[in-house]
Amino acid sequence: KFFSGMTLPGWRSMLAALEEGGDEPDPDFVDWLSAEAAFGRIHDVALRRHWIDPTVPLEAAVVMPSHGVLVTSATLTDPAAEDPFDLARMRTGAARLIEPARTLKVDSPFDYATNSRVIVVNDLVKDDPRQIAAAMRELFLAAGGGGLGLFTAIRRLKAVYERLGPELARAGLPLYAQHVDPLEVGALVDVFRAERDSCLLGTDAVRDGVDVPGRSLRVLAFDRVPWPRPDLLHKARRERFGTGSGGRSWDDALARGRIAQAFGRLIRRADDRGVFVMLDAACPTRLFAALPPGTEVLRLGLAETVELTKGFLAEQTG
């Protein structure tokens, strides 16, 4: 009942618009026709509709009937904004509340400056899967496993997996991959967590929803900056919510949040220790503003990064 209440009004209005015609699009929605092809043939055609502001149905179905709503996240605020909670208010619908939402930011108990390292590798060609695969291989070998590789596209993940799998296998390090292994994400993460020296490749579902404390995750490599995909929906939201610099602030805020989410996979308890590596030399320093205070960002070549990773993680076991 809850789900249908959220989705059926959108379907009704979309079908009504098709029947009535007209040249003016509904300002609350983005509509498009999509087609999926396989082996040179189209096998799935769909008319799609998304709310430009999805907090409108959220407010109607969740906020208004409730006595109170609690929204919590480790990446709720954007430290680079004048008001760190502005984006959270916008993306949760709190900006439309009659009474202002109360906000609270709690400092992390973890010592990130001591227990983590953040490095941007500055001598790779990010569009070359051979170089990305070689970089992840060297990093995962330096760590002795416990490596998580994150990708912004499934195609690149698969290209790296094909090159990386055999080489890690020769070193006795199992490699698992979302979109390759016939297991759902939760099961893959369970295996990765249980096998302390295995490695895992994944996309956004892994970036945002993995809890692997301890030695099973000790090095995280991100293939490139997780900029939002420039599709019709993003363009509409950028025009609606972005302010200044041609909407760059909106793109920056989304990318900062994704980098912070990825970094958050690395340190899950006080005695965790890990290295976060961005394999995209073009990553702007401003995107690391969402990382915890005291986190230093280094820009190094791959060889230096591998040596630092090996030495830093050896301190934990030495």
Question: C-alpha 164: how far from its chain's center?
Answer: 22
Q: What is the mean pLDDT of residues 44-56?
A: 87
Asked whether the predicted pLDDT for residue 119 surpasses 70, the reply is yes
pLDDT of 316 over the 70 cut: no
Residue range(s) in the chain whose domain bears CATH number 3.40.50.300: 112-317
Name the pLDDT band for 26 (thresholds 50, 70, 90): confident
pTM of the model: 0.86
Q: d(Cα 311, Cα 177) in Å, to the nearest integer?
A: 27
Whether 295 shows a pLDDT value over 80: the answer reads yes
The predicted pLDDT at position 3 comes to 58
Cα–Cα distance between 223 and 228 in angstroms, integer? 14
φ and ψ at residue 38, rounded to 5 degrees? -145, 135
pLDDT of residue 195: 93
Residues 76-97: pLDDT tens digits?
888 888 888 998 898 888 888 8
CATH 3.40.50.300 corresponds to the domain 112-317: yes
Q: From 99, 115, 165, 110, select the one nearest 137 (Cα to Cα).
A: 165
Q: Over the stretch 194-217, which tens digit does the pLDDT of each residue have?
A: 999 999 999 998 888 788 989 999
Q: Report the alpha-carbon distance of residue 91 to residue 301 in Å, rounded.
A: 37
CA-nearest of 123, 99, 172 to 281 is: 123
Q: Which contacts qualify for 28-34: CB closer than 8 Å, 24 or more apart?
A: 28/52, 28/53, 28/56, 30/232, 30/233, 30/236, 32/232
- The confidence band for 246, taking pLDDT boundaries of 50, 70 and 90, is low
